[in-house]
Structure 1
Amino acid sequence: MNKKILTLLLGFSVFAGCTKLDEKVLDETSSTGATDKEIAEGLIAPVYAKLPDIFLHTNYFALQEISTDEAILPYRGGTDWGDNGIYLSLHKHETTSPDPNVRNTWNNIFQGVSRSLTALTELPNNKDANAKVFLAEARAMRAYYNMLTLDLFGLVFKKEDPRETSVILRGEEAMNYIRTEFEAAEPVLDNNTGPGRITKAGVWGLLARLHLNAAVYRDRYAAAFTFQKADMDKAVEYCDKIINSNQYTLSPSYFALFDDENHTNKELIFAVDQRSDLNGHNRMAYFSLSGDQFPLPAYTGANGTDGPGITSDFYRSWVNAYAPIDPAAADPRFYQENLTIYSHPNDTCVEAAQFNINRGILRGQQYGLIRKGGVFLKCSDGKMKVGPLFYDTRSKPTKPVEFTELCDFTVAGSDYNTGFRVSKYEFSKTSVSGRNFGEHDIVILRLADVYLMRAEAKLRRGDPAATALADVNFVRASRTASTPAAPLAAINLDLLFRERGFEFYWECQRRTDMVRFGKYEGTWTEKTNTDKNKRIFPIPQTAMDGASIIPGYLVQNPGY
């Protein structure tokens, strides 16, 4: 399925996902004039079309990041991001079943399951040459969507006939169902269609992730998780398959993984395809930036929204790891300077084509394009005027855009400038406003994760630590576009957890990692809740209400 066809298909994905197509072949066309090829592609495209909605910044990202020690979103200035307290509750582990972000995430995932089932029902009758591969993709994607529900909500819905009521599975039974679905799809899958479509390597990586989390999924509320050697062996096996395929390579530039044009980056194994001609639409880049940071000289409306910052706890993990060296100098994953005024104060005039905001974790006074009266100021030579930023958009022209380490739910800690910000994904070069476009693929699985999963599995099954350390240091040493982070001298599970934070911050991994490493009941920033029931989220109230016609069918998770 080429890029042009996929673009057209996504345009009618809602239609295809909600319609049962009864095919009748008449001289290679259906009674409606569509060929088997068009019907097959029209069935598989909607299966992927829900991924961008799931990975919207206020859905899966919020659940996976703002509920952790990594991200916090206060009620900014008492006027922005209040949202009836849902982000405050999420961070404090006080989320309730009517929460709209929980509901939206649930609904989008199950629409993905539904569309996968539609494809699974119709594709077996399709005569197109690609139908068998599409069928395997639909099966693998249904397994992936169910893996999300198992991780987030502790259950999956099993159904093969659209006319039947789904069977609810939990624990070992749910995990085994997902595993067998992945295993059944894998032999038929292609391995050259990624990262926007699921491949053999994508399934291998997801199976490794499933086995690595198996102890959690078997006994969600355990006082201590029991990691079985058989699971760790499988995790290593699947990681080995990906590494030994020699199809993927670690990116020399860390932030290139999150550039606008990252679709061809050889580290990406599975990702949400967000290329511009597929109507890519995500807000990952704008979510954390200030409302007075304007990354694009061509668009005076493209700015940030003063959303989440990183917690002081997460920042301190970097500082403590590298003291007395500043983490920006010690680790290229922390920060990439693109705007030279930070190092050379006289660089106040920049060619528009050369202007590019910094990436990574942004601290202190911010500099950038200066907008007055709705236009950007220019130097006498026509270059863009660059200088210190102030909160003009907030009608506070004397308040500097100066990001602070403090970020909490107090009045002082909830101001617009509190919290160091994250500029990991590149701000779209064609975004007329911060709230649209986003051509970078959103990473679901990449090669660095494969190495770090293998390292963790080796440690948990009792291998010599040196073998795990080699995997960790191989990833650290790979970022040769700048000075790589120095190798670690030793490794244990606590250090590996820290390393996963450094490598995968802002990538929707933190909550799952914290639960698996036994850190989720800890204390950070505004969070003191130690209730292990909060390891998973409540089933949305709308789902509970909808299922109430079948008594006892859908039971709310404990603690909600």
Structure 2
Amino acid sequence: MLVFNIYLMKKKLSLIFTAAGLLLFTNACTDLKEEVLDETLSVELSDQAAANGLIAPVYALLPNLFQHTTYFALQEITTDEAILPYRGGTDWGDNGIYQALHQHNTTSTDPNVNNTWNTLVQSISRSITAITGFKESADPNAAIYLAEARGMRAYYNLVMLDMFGIAFIKEDPGTTSKIVRGEEAVSYIESELLAIEPLVQSKTAVGPGRLNQAAVWSLLTRLYMNAGVYRNVYSPTIEFRPEDLDKAIQYSDKVIASGQAKLSADYFSIFSNNNHTNQELIFAVDQRADLNGHNRMAYFSISGDQFPLAEFPAANGTDGPGITSDFYQSWVQAYGAVDPSRDPRFYQQNMSIYTNAADTCINDADYKINRGILRGQQYGALRVNGAFTRCADNKLKVGKLTYVTRNRADLPVSFSELIDYTTAGSNYNTGYRVAKYEFSSKSNTGRNKGEADIVIVRLADIYLMRAEAKLRKGDAAGALADVNLVRASRTATLAPPALTSMTLDILFRERGFEFYWEMLRRTDMIRFGKYEGKWTEKTNSDVHKRIFPIPQTAIDGASNLPGYLSQNESY
């Protein structure tokens, strides 16, 4: 059975896109119409090369979708986990779009919304193009690729349904898509995933970077857990149908029993640069391709005066979002008098040297910044005039960081719990920061060349969704066992202590501890009835803000089809 390495194909995308006549898209592509880039080329391709040229584009925009200013912004900055103020009155103002996201006042011209929408629409369209091509392909693996493309179309539609409340049904590239909502959208996505379930390969065969059998079961589990939201997204009470919960348990059981994924003993290794082989990953954005991915998950939150790589003195952070005090306090309340760093998911100190009072000289190879939630004074490589300071023995000089690059050497890089939209709460150093993904060792600018695969689904989520389904069916003991199994698995350090009881509030809190910064929080908050609540700088309780506005450009682009695409309520 062929194992097609999608990451190797990405290295050749430019050639393949042209040779195969790949389709170019416009922003106003609501009906998923496409333009052929070049139909005049007569490049002769083997059946296998043509098939590879069709499947690679289906995955190619995943890194774009999972950038900090697309899916991440919509899934995290809208929640109680992340907040991005106007830093120092000079950075991340962006006409107030991040404040509006956090306060649930986003408009249909928001670029984060537009970019997410456009990436999803283009990815759906590329999937349709691939499906059409594979139906006529003579390649012996065409049936597998066809199933993958069909499954990816379902995945993109699942994200579209979650974020915008609609899904697109389209089989013929020459026709206009049918737009569906609610029950019809849920049934369509379910039927597509079920149809390809027996046809895709196992995760063991293809790895987490391609849609695999365990990934399909995982997406079905996710669909069933959220089906009550998707059927009636504005309902004040979410209906969890027993049959949905049973199916969520059924497909999570399949994932677990298959042995295609295993819980990682080392929590932060799940998000490290070599995580493609981490067995906890089920489905992920493959970023190995010549390191052509992005490092945005690592750079977005940390300070502009944190330089994590001894080799690259220009690679730094950007003082983006921090966690809210509300989210931090959920850790404090869980651990009481014990510091939350007791939990190995909260923090990983890579070098005790960081906490030494005096400047220290260290080998370049030993220099790594800490991971997890970063609090207080930060230590790191000291930079002067664009170069790192060296000790007499040429080792890297590490000390207390200040905001030298901001011309604020008087301001320490000392992260505070306070972060809000006041002048005091919007300074460069406000808010505890998140360095969950490892900073790419190849990112010479800090933004480019990501090495870590970005998690879409991992095994811990399967256990916790199964726990939730059990709990909603009244099986608190079964739910508690699943949650404690995940907690006990983190044996590389001292595992979190076992919980003694389980409620929906405890389970929601546990999902926050396990999955913070992984772009699940908005979906979780809606499902658990928390999204209309109050937290730092957010008081809007309008249920219509559970989904985002359809971009105005998309509505304008469909204006020649009266009634085809209507704006979501309250926008």
The normalised TM-score by structure 2 is 0.94
CA displacement, residues 183-222 of structure 1 (integer Å, 9 cap, x when unaligned):
1111110002120000011000000000000110111111
Work out which of the residue numbers 226, 237, 242 in structure 1 matches 2:250.
237
Work out which of the residue numbers 274, 279, 301 in structure 1 matches 2:287.
274
The alpha-carbon deviation at position 246 of structure 1 amounts to: 1.3
Matching residue of 1:415:
427
Work out which of the residue numbers 381, 394, 405 in structure 2 matches 1:393.
405
CA displacement, residues 464-514 of structure 1 (integer Å, 9 cap, x when unaligned):
x11110100000011111000001011111100000000000000000000
Which residue identity lines up with residue 360 of structure 1 in the other structure? G
CA displacement, residues 96-123 of structure 1 (integer Å, 9 cap, x when unaligned):
0010110000000010000000001111
CA displacement, residues 154-194 of structure 1 (integer Å, 9 cap, x when unaligned):
00111111111111100000010000001111111000212
Q: Does 1:10 align with 2:13?
A: yes
Matching residue of 1:381:
393
Which residue identity lines up with residue 348 of structure 2 in the other structure? Q
Q: Answer whether contact 1:21 1:122 (CA < 8 A) is retained.
A: no
Paired residues for 1:146-161 under 5 Å: 146-161=157-172
Paired residues for 1:135-284 under 5 Å: 135-191=146-202, 192-277=205-290, 279-284=292-297
Work out which of the residue numbers 447, 460, 482 in structure 2 matches 1:448.
460
> Which runs of 4 or more aligned residues in structure 1 lie more than 6 Å from their structure 2 counterparts after TM superposition?
19-22
Matching residue of 1:516:
527
Which residue identity lines up with residue 239 of structure 2 in the other structure? T
Q: 1:5 to 1:297 in 2, by over 3 A?
A: closer
Q: Which secondary structure state, in structure 1, belongs to the residue aligned with residue 198 of structure 2?
A: helix
The alpha-carbon deviation at position 348 of structure 1 amounts to: 1.2
Work out which of the residue numbers 474, 479, 484 in structure 1 matches 2:485.
474
Q: Does 1:426 align with 2:431?
A: no
2 CA distance for matches of 1:343 and 1:537? 43
Q: 1:406 to 1:220 in 2, by over 3 A?
A: same
The alpha-carbon deviation at position 345 of structure 1 amounts to: 3.6
Which residue identity lines up with residue 297 of structure 1 in the other structure? A
Unaligned runs of 5+ in 2: 25-33
Matching residue of 2:31:
none
Q: Which secondary structure state, in structure 2, belongs to the residue aligned with residue 361 of structure 1?
A: strand
Matching residue of 1:121:
132
Matching residue of 1:294:
307
Which residue identity lines up with residue 49 of structure 2 in the other structure? E
Unaligned runs of 5+ in 1: 23-29
Q: Does 1:48 align with 2:59?
A: yes
CA displacement, residues 505-554 of structure 1 (integer Å, 9 cap, x when unaligned):
00000000000000000000000000000000000010011111111111
Q: Does 1:92 align with 2:103?
A: yes
Q: 1:181 to 1:287 in 2, by over 3 A?
A: same
1 CA distance for matches of 2:176 and 2:354? 60
Q: Answer whether contact 1:52 1:282 (CA < 8 A) is retained.
A: no
2 CA distance for matches of 1:548 and 1:178? 27
The alpha-carbon deviation at position 347 of structure 1 amounts to: 7.0
Which residue identity lines up with residue 424 of structure 1 in the other structure? K
How many residue pairs match? The answer is 551
2 CA distance for matches of 1:416 and 1:31? 55
Work out which of the residue numbers 457, 470, 474 in structure 2 matches 1:462.
474
The normalised TM-score by structure 1 is 0.96
Q: Answer whether contact 2:164 2:550 (CA < 8 A) is retained.
A: yes
Between the aligned residues of both structures, percent identity stands at 63
Which residue identity lines up with residue 425 of structure 1 in the other structure? Y
Q: Which secondary structure state, in structure 2, belongs to the residue aligned with residue 48 of structure 1?
A: helix
2 CA distance for matches of 1:511 and 1:319? 22
The alpha-carbon deviation at position 21 of structure 1 amounts to: 12
Which residue identity lines up with residue 488 of structure 1 in the other structure? L
Which residue identity lines up with residue 479 of structure 1 in the other structure? R
CA RMSD of aligned residues (A): 1.5
Matching residue of 2:336:
323
CA displacement, residues 425-480 of structure 1 (integer Å, 9 cap, x when unaligned):
000101111121111000000000000000000011222x1111010000001111
